[in-house]
Amino acid sequence: MRRFAMEWWSAAQGHLQHVIAKELYCGRGFKEAQSTAEKFEAPCYVVSAGLGLIEPDDRVPPYDFTLADLAEYRSQSGSGCWQLGLWWHEINQVRGRPKPLRRLLHDHSAATVVVALSGRYLGLVHEELATLPGWCVQRLRVISGSRLIPAELINVTMPYDGRFDGPDSPLPGTRTDFAPRAARHFVEEIWSRDPDAPASVHASSVAAVLEEMRPPDAIRRNRVRDEDVRRLIQKFWHDAGGASSQMLRLLRDREGVACEQGRFARLFREVKKARSW
HEC sequence for 146-200: CCCCCHHHHHHECCCCHHHHCCCCCCCCCHHHHHHHHHHHHHHHHHHHCCCCCHH
37 and 172, same domain (yes or no): yes
Pairing of strands 19-20, 59-60: antiparallel
> Is residue 189's pLDDT more than 90?
yes
What local confidence, expressed as pLDDT, does residue 65 receive?
Answer: 59
115 and 238, same domain (yes or no): no
What local confidence, expressed as pLDDT, does residue 84 receive?
Answer: 80
Domain membership flag for residue 178: yes
User: What percent of the chain is modeled with pLDDT above 90?
Assistant: 43
> Is residue 73's pLDDT more than 70?
no
Domain that holds residue 250: 222-276
146 and 165, same domain (yes or no): yes
Closest CA relative to residue 27, chosen from 72, 66, 85, 84: 66
Tell me what the mean pLDDT of segment 32-43 comes to: 92
Overall number of domains in the chain: 2
> Is residue 242's pLDDT more than 50?
yes
220 DSSP β-pair partners: none
Round to whole Å and give the CA distance between 110 and 40.
15
Domain membership flag for residue 19: yes
Least confident of 29-38, 71-80, 148-157, 260-269: 71-80
Is the model's pTM score more than 0.85? no
Quote the mean pLDDT of the chain.
86
- 91, 52 in Cβ contact below 8 A? yes
What local confidence, expressed as pLDDT, does residue 140 receive?
Answer: 96
Count Cβ atoms below 10 Å from residue 132 Cβ, excluding itself: 19
> Is residue 195's pLDDT more than 90?
yes
165 and 263, same domain (yes or no): no
